[in-house]
């Protein structure tokens, strides 16, 4: 049984801190061209949308008989100049009213058509930015997952890792692309509308914003509570994914123990907690709509009252200008409503960003040194030089582990469960690093080698064979770039796998199913051995490779292993002592220490733990 993942002593090495918002916005940098074009399209849309309402002014003025002043009391104005430079180029504004009205209607239709063409470009470019950011985020997070060492996965639930890759990435994508792009669009629309509103009446525009300070006062406390509740909901989403993953991976055990009811209750507790957390967040966020609507209604009431006074009492604004102003204000409140709700809308994205950055800042303690060397071969052999390993500070798993394995030797690691056998071989490929002493291959500390080359020199065949949901060919060729069909077949023949592969529906192109479920245990093991044969590693680790097989499958696998062992330095971990009697060296481990070493005959004569274990097994 594999030991728990070690926690290395000493402070974790962290990346230099970066501002959170700057780090979030940095994901837009590779897409700045598309983003700039989307911004230009958004600005054009906002300008055309606002001007389509302003173009109604001469229409209303003509209809109500005030064409000479274009519906305004104060002259000259920039509105008059803009209308004469645009509408006036196509329509004789002082001509026949019916002709003027028809010309203005056609102009507005053309304006709306242009606006929608621009809107299409804006939507397409925004979606391109959004999906590009999502792709980059997933690629970066997945790349970081591959770089993390085994110690991280030992202390982190799989569901939490998957949640970061899916749910948190989606939240951050929505924040960066969707909400940011919408916010920019609304700001541009707001600026365009405000420009024309202030041209019509600065006092009336100021009246429209009386309720804005009240909005800020209300949203402050609400946003803080939303942040806390969104964090809780995302944490529970990770737990939910972890529960599903654990149940599916252990479904055979669940069914064999008739524990469906127990698992159902455990899952329902998690889903209930997630449901309650999400509903508390939804309830708080749902207040955004009603609060905003009430504030908008208050602002509109003030606007109508004050505008009517300017028209009827002060006579400082014409009815046509007031009506145009009201139409423009309908385009004002959509951006205002969105911007007032924005603090609530971005909270899930900010929380997702925090969780994602926590994950991405998790350090990988096992990395190449700056002067890492290429792997130079096994040399004369492998030396464990007074090795110590700790899972947690003060909790030693291996102590003063010292032994020598000559090149080409088959060394068997024997001992009770939990004695540290798997930890010994994990140190070979630097899946963990020693806390004391050194593991040397060819006279060189393994920490001085390039990780890629070191692990490329290591082949592992374990009891828990890992196969991917892919073809037989792809599984054998895994980790061997450019392997040809001929090389794959030769490896399969050497592993006694070719005969059964040939009987599969599609031969080497047959999908093996998730974790190789379409194959028997012995077939999966022979595929794994073929993979090791193809890679041709100088160092081989056999971790309980035949312990879960029936007698016939074990015989076939053992024949394949015998061919694989030739000319390699091999570490064998096995509880069945009958499978290791031919080892050139047997190392007996107990409580993290080497207590005996020698050949089978020597250890039997010596007695001690090895003989005790053998007698217990064969009694």
**Which H or E element spans position 404?**
strand 395-406
For the CA atoms of 522, 524, 530, 533, the dihedral, rounded to the nearest 10 degrees, stands at -80
| Contact between residue 503 and residue 497 where contact means Cβ atoms under 8 Å apart | no
Report the alpha-carbon distance of residue 544 to residue 552 in Å, rounded: 17
Report the alpha-carbon distance of residue 506 to residue 503 in Å, rounded: 8
| Contact between residue 299 and residue 206 where contact means Cβ atoms under 8 Å apart | no
Go through the chain and tell me how many residues it has.
619
pLDDT at 73 (0 to 100): 44
| Contact between residue 557 and residue 522 where contact means Cβ atoms under 8 Å apart | yes
pLDDT at 117 (0 to 100): 93
Q: Is 193 helix (H, G, I), strand (E, B) or coil?
A: helix
Q: Which two tokens stand for residue 490?
A: 């030769």
| Contact between residue 47 and residue 53 where contact means Cβ atoms under 8 Å apart | no
Question: Which of 581, 573, 575, 572 is CA-nearest to residue 613?
Answer: 575
- CB-based contacts of 88, cutoff 8 Å, min separation 6: none
Question: Which of 279, 295, 276, 278 is CA-nearest to residue 219?
Answer: 295
pLDDT at 439 (0 to 100): 92
Helix, strand and coil content of the chain, in percent to the nearest 5, comes to 65, 10, 25
* CA distances for 92 relative to 83, 102, 483, 602, angstroms: 11, 11, 78, 114
CA–chain centroid gap for 306, Å, is: 53
Q: Count CB neighbours of 486 within 10 A.
A: 8
- CB-based contacts of 74, cutoff 8 Å, min separation 6: none
Q: Within 378-445, where are the H helices?
A: 421-426
Report the alpha-carbon distance of residue 435 to residue 388 in Å, rounded: 6
Q: Which residues of the chain have pLDDT under 50?
A: 1-19, 67-76
Mean pLDDT computed over every residue of the chain: 77
**Which H or E element spans position 598?**
strand 593-598
Report the alpha-carbon distance of residue 288 to residue 111 in Å, rounded: 34
Q: Within 512-573, where are the H helices?
A: 521-535, 551-565
Report the alpha-carbon distance of residue 405 to residue 577 in Å, rounded: 19
pLDDT at 18 (0 to 100): 41
On whether the pTM is more than 0.75, the answer is: no
Residue-wise pLDDT for 541-586, tens only, equals 887 765 555 566 666 666 766 766 777 888 888 766 655 777 888 9
pLDDT at 329 (0 to 100): 77
pLDDT at 58 (0 to 100): 79
Q: Which two tokens stand for residue 298?
A: 């208050």
Radius of gyration from C-alpha coordinates of the chain: 36
Q: Which domains does the chain have, with CATH numbers?
A: 20-360 (1.20.1560.10)
């Amino acid at each position: 049984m594999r030991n728990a993942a070690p926690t290395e002593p000493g402070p974790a090495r962290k990346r230099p801190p970066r501002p959170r918002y700057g780090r979030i916005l940095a994901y837009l940098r590779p897409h700045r061209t598309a983003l700039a074009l989307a911004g230009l399209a958004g600005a054009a849309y906002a300008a055309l949308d606002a001007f389509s309402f302003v173009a109604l002014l001469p229409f209303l003025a003509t209809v109500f008989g005030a064409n000479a002043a274009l519906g305004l009391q104060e002259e000259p104005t920039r509105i008059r100049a803009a209308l004469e430079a645009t509408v006036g180029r196509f329509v004789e504004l002082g001509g026949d009213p019916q002709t003027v009205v028809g010309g203005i209607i056609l102009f507005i239709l053309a304006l709306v058509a242009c606006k929608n063409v621009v809107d299409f470009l804006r939507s397409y470019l925004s979606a391109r930015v959004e999906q590009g950011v999502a792709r980059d985020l997933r690629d970066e997070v997945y790349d970081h997952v591959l770089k993390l060492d085994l110690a991280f996965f030992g202390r982190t639930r799989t569901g939490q890792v998957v949640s970061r890759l899916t749910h948190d990435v989606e939240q951050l994508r929505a924040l960066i692309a969707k909400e940011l792009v919408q916010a920019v669009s609304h700001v541009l629309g707001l600026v365009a509308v405000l420009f024309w509103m202030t041209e019509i009446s600065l006092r009336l525009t100021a009246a429209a914003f009386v309720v804005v300070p009240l909005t800020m006062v209300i949203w402050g406390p609400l946003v803080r509570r939303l942040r806390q509740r969104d964090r809780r909901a995302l944490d529970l989403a990770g737990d939910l994914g972890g529960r599903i993953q654990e149940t599916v991976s252990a479904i055979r055990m669940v069914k064999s123990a008739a524990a469906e009811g127990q698992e159902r209750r455990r899952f329902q507790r998690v889903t209930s907690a997630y449901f309650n957390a999400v509903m508390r967040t939804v309830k708080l966020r749902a207040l955004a709509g009603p609060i905003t609507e009430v504030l908008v209604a208050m602002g509109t009431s003030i606007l109508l009252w004050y505008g009517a006074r300017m028209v009827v009492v002060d006579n400082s604004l014409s009815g046509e200008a007031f009506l145009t102003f009201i139409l423009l204000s309908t385009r004002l409140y959509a951006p205002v409503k969105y911007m007032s709700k924005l603090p609530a809308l971005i909270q899930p994205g900010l929380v997702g960003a925090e969780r994602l950055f926590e994950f991405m800042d998790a350090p990988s303690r096992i990395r190449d040194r700056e002067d890492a060397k290429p792997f130079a071969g096994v040399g004369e052999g492998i030396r464990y030089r007074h090795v110590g390993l700790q899972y947690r500070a003060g909790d030693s798993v291996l102590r003063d582990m010292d032994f020598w394995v000559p090149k080409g030797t088959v060394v068997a690691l024997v001992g009770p469960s939990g004695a540290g056998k798997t930890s010994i071989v994990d140190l070979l490929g630097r899946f963990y690093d020693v806390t004391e002493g050194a593991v040397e291959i060819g006279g060189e500390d393994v920490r001085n080698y390039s990780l890629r080359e070191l692990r490329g020199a290591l082949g592992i065949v374990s009891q828990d064979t890992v196969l991917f949901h892919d073809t037989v060919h792809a599984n054998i060729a895994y980790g061997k770039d450019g392997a040809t069909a001929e090389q794959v077949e030769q490896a399969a023949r050497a592993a006694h796998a070719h005969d059964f592969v040939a009987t599969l529906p599609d031969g080497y192109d047959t999908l093996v199913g998730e974790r190789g479920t379409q194959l028997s245990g012995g077939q999966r093991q022979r595929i794994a051995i073929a993979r090791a044969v193809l890679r041709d590693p100088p160092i081989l680790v056999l971790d309980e490779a035949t312990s879960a097989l029936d007698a016939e499958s074990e015989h076939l696998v053992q024949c394949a292993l015998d061919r694989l062992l030739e000319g390699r330095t091999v570490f064998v971990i096995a509880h069945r002592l009958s499978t290791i009697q031919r080892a050139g060296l047997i190392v007996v481990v107990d409580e993290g220490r080497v207590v005996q070493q020698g050949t089978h005959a020597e250890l039997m004569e010596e007695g001690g733990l090895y003989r005790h274990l053998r007698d217990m097994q064969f009694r």
